[in-house]
Structure 1
Amino acid sequence: MSWAGKILRVNLSTGAISREPLKMEWAKAYLGSRGLASKYLISEIDPKVDPLSPENKLIWATGPLTGTMASTGGRYTVVTKGPLTGAIACSNSGGYWGAEFKFAGWDMVIFEGKSAKPVYLSIEDDHVELRDAAHLWGKSVWETEEIIKKQHQDPLVRVSSIGLAGENGVLYAAVVNDLHRAAGRSGVGAVMGSKNLKAIAVRGTQGVGNIRDPKGFMKATFEKKKILADNAVTGQGLPTYGTQVLMNVINEIGASPTRNHRDVQFEGAKDISAEAMATPRASDGKAQLVTNQACFGCTIACGRISKIDQTHFSVQNKPQYWGATGGLEYEAAWALGNANGVSDLEALQYCNTLCNEQGMDPISYGATIGAVMELYEIGALTKEQIGIDAPFGSAEALVKLTEMTAQGVGFGKEIGLGSKRLCEKYGHPELSMSVKGQEFPAYDSRGIQGMGLTYATSNRGACHLRSYTVASEVLGIPVKTDPLSADGKPELVKAFQDATAVFDSAGICVFTSFAWGLADVQPQVAAACGEEFTLDNLNEIGERIWNMEREFNNAAGFTAKDDTLPPRLLNEPAKTGPATGLVNKLPEMLPKYYAIRGWDTEGRPLPETRARLGL
């Protein structure tokens, strides 16, 4: 059994720390990480709880493959009720923190209540204590990590923390580890800040020693790593170009949301693409991209390390931003760039750096700026209200607004509310490009139909990582489907949603699914955890997790009316590219999806579905 078998419970209100055995019957039904932590959360909180109240809980969790030699086995999740959406929030991160936590001998830590003063949790194997964090409050993620490592006199301590965004209650604040890896979406960092919890510092020396069949596990992981290495996406595309390989691809097929989804193609895409990142600049002859980087145990290495142009206006007289740091991923480049019509690559890198430094989700942040710029252009927001002119395409406005939001000053406080609340406040709720309050990522669902159904039904609000039908509709993985057709998409979305729940819960990266199916995950889980984890069993676990999350949201007050898209995507046809003339065909897909899921017409799991899944 590759679970550690132990969880920590920390009551921040009283300072009490307790240790509990992991509920193994739950582990076998929900696997770990996303699934298992969600089961604990849902069993312990009122679905209608205020996400920023002490009564909400916040959970860090690993999966059974976290910390093992399975490729990409470094993932952990942060699970809570999300302040951006009011729905269940589960945000996933890579880097090294998850493996280190597992090496310390823990599967999960549950935080309850609220501390009267800023604290951080120190974990050194079985020695666990809450420590004062007054000296860390007001510090960035980067400063926090550096100070804690010096304080512990150990450069190998791994830190998961919030920056100013989490402290200031930015509703899409992230939890950041290893400087630029993040549990980025749904505002998990804001919940952390509401509890006066600044960081978790962990050092583990125990390893993962309880693999059920070590020889079988080594054989399975070796075979599956070869599949990743031989695959065009995981063995070539992602290592070479990172996720930014998609910038030109998605733009060419007419599915790149531009200027707050007014358009589906961005004329400046080539200037902010992976290829542009790797091209030497005229100013200094150096490329922005320095190298790629891998998370713990990863054989793909899709991460980017970049260096900004020191002569760029954003960093003049700011030498702290001249060094190498986390580079642009596709979603961040799109949200900061295309969504706002900004094609200044150095400005995007600077703003992305601020998001990492202060712990903000660049997707929700960038998409919210897109809404601000449209509100400005139609006159619903003025220069006096914002503090600056903010037209589409202005790199100067993007940079200034990012600084204001990261620091929580001026109009930056409004931007920290997210696009739903901001657009409602200024009289144009229809201009928030979001589902359940969470902003869209980088795929326009008029040009990739399956993503419309994916967004509308995602349990954590608009999200690409819950059902990445782009793999099938654009890349032909595992089979090619027509991105402009609604046919077969309900079945496709359900299959992706259930499978992704298993990848997340096992503790591995969803990017492996470009090369692996569940049939590749199954022998690794079985060798590590137990022979009962058959392919059928894993499929059922994925479906069980999805329905459990759905039931929580239903109990929290969400209904079928929330499974929708903004009017723009349903009523305004794409103007250019292959999707010209098309809107998203959600009304055609949604009833079929409900039926396939075994739900009633209001989107509620039927009694026979609940019984079959043991809910």
Structure 2
Amino acid sequence: MGYQNKVVRIDLTKKGVSFEPLRMDFAKKYVGSKGLAIRYMYEELKPGIDPLGPENKLFLTTGPLTGTPVPCSGKLSVAAKSPATGTMNDCSIGGHVGIRLKFAGYDMAIFEGKLSEPGYVLIDDGKIRFMDAKDLWGLGSHEAEKILAQKYGPEFSIMSIGPAGENLGVMACINCDYYRQAGRGGIGAVMGSKNMKAIVIRGTGGVKVNDIENTTNRIIELLRESVVNDDNQYIFDDGTTAFLEACNDGGILPWKNFSDTTDEKWTEYNGDVLKQYRVGKRGCGSCGLGCGNFLKIGDAICEGPEYESIAVAGPNAGIRDPEKIVKFNEVADDMGLDTISAGDTIIWAMEMTEKGIHDFGIKFGEADKMIEYLKLMARNEGVGKDLALGTKRASEKYGGTEFAMQVKGLEFPQYEPRGSWATSVAYAVSDRGACHMRAYPPNMEVFEAAAPPYTAENKGQLVYDLAEYNAIKFSLCICDFWGTLDYDIMAELLTMVTGVEWTTEDMSTVGRRVINIGRAFNQREGFDRRHDTVPKRIVTEALQNGPAKGQVIPQEAFDDMLSQYYKVMGWDENGKMPEDLIASLL
């Protein structure tokens, strides 16, 4: 129950389709979604493969709660080896696509090989078809999706790439339902490398639940008590724009490529300003919160913008114009670019130009150029050719590595680590490079003030606890915004849906196992302590303004926190896992 016990394997090279049972031995250890996808990747991807070669595979993975009425459980994991970092990479995408894949009868879809010419794959319940996409190739993601939506209708979800994915850009994302993204690590380039412009999915079936009556009654209780309540009202009202004030007040809102923090004029582009331009709302399937906000300012329109996009196209670029911020978001989505990585890379170029190291033709505050550079990056044209490399590769070519804000080739999310020391370690040990979705220390260190932010003490344990929680939550495919979700509720719902007894302790065990299997994949690719680091700026330059003024993370403090984390995980001082631990994961 909960699982469909079916995987569809799609051979793009041969245009063949096969079906097989889900590996329930994997599911028992990793549950679903994130954890299950990484376990399949470890099993099926040979070490050292080219992320943009036909040997890489694209995994779409649901969880046992997907397609049930469990709140906030409608997401889909999209995973592959990352072209940006060479690590494993899994992304989470909202909308309705995960539910539709599950209703089509599949726990997972695995795409192998490469189409001989541009095409897309149509999954319509049990029918899988290979369709021509030559007329869609070269179009923006929005236009391509519009054409396909007109052809197939509202019962279908459409995952598509823009020009960035077609041109194999390392910051290319996959769009879905127009404004939802599997955003990080170049996952869209993997799809582009397979000559797949889109994946179109409809499912008209359902999901069997072991104890439907008690499960439904319990879900109604949870919706009232834990999901749709006063504590979560801000999600509906503001979405993640609410984080802007909290980050600014907490001294972690980045300014001009993380050279400083806070912006005294943040109210010029905050949530209250943006809400004036709201023209609609929506939520993902099974969601009781509805965080999505559609904004239209002038000719700029997008869903969001989320906090990350506001910060990267706003204060971190020295820009305060809300219309330009929304336009940046719109163009990035249409081009199929991760707003975080693309924004951070352009911001790095701004600083390079202003410091006189290399003239990229753009300076802080030049919003129109920033938007235009997105198109150049996606199409691999002009200055965009160099910037499409991302900050790691571009800085290795031109200099400025000390302020290239990335880990392992994945650019920083928009939270300043010097104002939240544990965040530096969270970025460093994340299995896909700098990421706030693996562990999220700002909540504990800044927003709730539950842990002192400017000390190394006990930060290894803190990062682990947060990472373990997210690992099991995302393996259940549950959204971040169910803020009061705990292990007891997870175990209770999983037991009700599947009919198999799961305990609170099991949730902790699975979370730890998921972290370890991701590390095992990366270790096999050659990653260790040398790669778990942060840019020199974080450990040498003190912040000059805001609540975190004067803060810098000394190198010895960072090293101490990193060693703490390794000790908690049972890894050695080089961040390597012992062979018996790896064997226990398989």
Q: Given the two structures, how large is their TM-score scaled by the length of structure 1?
A: 0.92
* 2:164 matches 1:187: no
Native 8 Å contact 1:405 1:412 kept in 2:
yes
* 2:333 matches 1:356: yes
Deviations 1:318-377 (A, max 9, x none): xxx5xx531210011111112211111100100100111121110001111110000111
Alignment: residue pair count: 583
SS of residue paired to 1:474: helix
Native 8 Å contact 1:17 1:129 kept in 2:
no
Native 8 Å contact 2:69 2:286 kept in 1:
yes
Deviations 1:82-101 (A, max 9, x none): 00111111011101111111
Counterpart CA distance in 2 for 1:402 and 1:360 is 8
Query: 1:559 deviation in Å?
Result: 1.3
SS of residue paired to 1:17: strand
Counterpart CA distance in 1 for 2:20 and 2:407 is 37
SS of residue paired to 2:90: strand
- 5+ long unaligned stretches in structure 2: none
Q: 1:482 aligns with which of 452, 455, 458?
A: 452
Counterpart CA distance in 2 for 1:607 and 1:395 is 51
Native 8 Å contact 2:250 2:447 kept in 1:
no
Query: 1:608 deviation in Å?
Result: 5.4
Query: 1:219 deviation in Å?
Result: 2.8
Counterpart CA distance in 2 for 1:452 and 1:570 is 10
Query: 1:41 deviation in Å?
Result: 1.2
* Correspondence 1:38-57 to 2 at 5 A: 38-57=38-57
Q: 1:303 aligns with which of 292, 297, 300?
A: 292
Q: 1:502 aligns with which of 472, 489, 498?
A: 472
Aligned residue for 1:282?
Answer: none
Counterpart CA distance in 2 for 1:231 and 1:467 is 25
1:559 maps to a residue whose letter is: D
Query: 1:151 deviation in Å?
Result: 2.9
Counterpart CA distance in 1 for 2:63 and 2:99 is 10
Q: Given the two structures, how large is their TM-score scaled by the length of structure 2?
A: 0.96
Q: 2:244 aligns with which of 222, 247, 250?
A: 247
Aligned residue for 2:176?
Answer: 177
* Correspondence 1:274-353 to 2 at 5 A: 274-278=271-275, 287-310=276-299, 321=300, 325-353=302-330
Change (3 A) 1:232 1:453: farther
Native 8 Å contact 1:15 1:130 kept in 2:
yes
Native 8 Å contact 1:121 1:131 kept in 2:
yes
Aligned residue for 1:563?
Answer: 532
Deviations 1:203-241 (A, max 9, x none): 111021x112212321332232223346554x2121111
1:460 maps to a residue whose letter is: R
Q: 2:562 aligns with which of 586, 590, 593?
A: 590
Aligned residue for 1:217?
Answer: 215
Native 8 Å contact 1:69 1:221 kept in 2:
yes
SS of residue paired to 2:347: helix
Native 8 Å contact 1:174 1:187 kept in 2:
yes
Query: 1:525 deviation in Å?
Result: 1.1
Query: 1:427 deviation in Å?
Result: 2.0
Native 8 Å contact 1:304 1:329 kept in 2:
no
SS of residue paired to 1:34: helix
SS of residue paired to 2:9: strand
* 2:58 matches 1:81: no
* 2:412 matches 1:445: no
Q: Once superposed, what is the RMSD of the aligned Cα atoms?
A: 1.6
Native 8 Å contact 1:65 1:506 kept in 2:
yes
- 5+ long unaligned stretches in structure 1: 279-286, 311-320
Change (3 A) 1:229 1:54: closer
Aligned residue for 1:103?
Answer: 103
1:245 maps to a residue whose letter is: A
SS of residue paired to 1:510: coil
Counterpart CA distance in 2 for 1:168 and 1:402 is 13
Native 8 Å contact 1:227 1:516 kept in 2:
no
Deviations 1:153-209 (A, max 9, x none): x3321101111110011211101100000001111001110110111101111021x
Native 8 Å contact 1:231 1:515 kept in 2:
no
Counterpart CA distance in 2 for 1:402 and 1:227 is 43
Aligned residue for 2:18?
Answer: 18
Counterpart CA distance in 1 for 2:490 and 2:270 is 32
* 2:356 matches 1:379: yes
2:226 maps to a residue whose letter is: L
* Correspondence 1:403-482 to 2 at 5 A: 403-476=375-448, 480-482=450-452
1:213 maps to a residue whose letter is: D
Deviations 1:384-433 (A, max 9, x none): xx4xx411112222222223224432212222211111111112222210
224-233 vs 415-424, greater mean Cα deviation: 224-233
1:349 maps to a residue whose letter is: V
Counterpart CA distance in 1 for 2:485 and 2:457 is 24
2:543 maps to a residue whose letter is: A
Query: 1:581 deviation in Å?
Result: 2.0
2:212 maps to a residue whose letter is: P
Query: 1:551 deviation in Å?
Result: 0.9
Counterpart CA distance in 2 for 1:7 and 1:57 is 14
Aligned residue for 1:5?
Answer: 5
SS of residue paired to 2:77: strand
Query: 1:288 deviation in Å?
Result: 2.2
1:363 maps to a residue whose letter is: I
SS of residue paired to 1:8: strand
2:544 maps to a residue whose letter is: K
Q: 1:604 aligns with which of 551, 557, 576?
A: 576
Native 8 Å contact 2:58 2:110 kept in 1:
yes
Query: 1:447 deviation in Å?
Result: 0.3
* 2:531 matches 1:531: no
Change (3 A) 1:165 1:348: same
Query: 1:510 deviation in Å?
Result: 2.0
Deviations 1:21-80 (A, max 9, x none): 111111111111111111111101112111111111111111111111011121001110
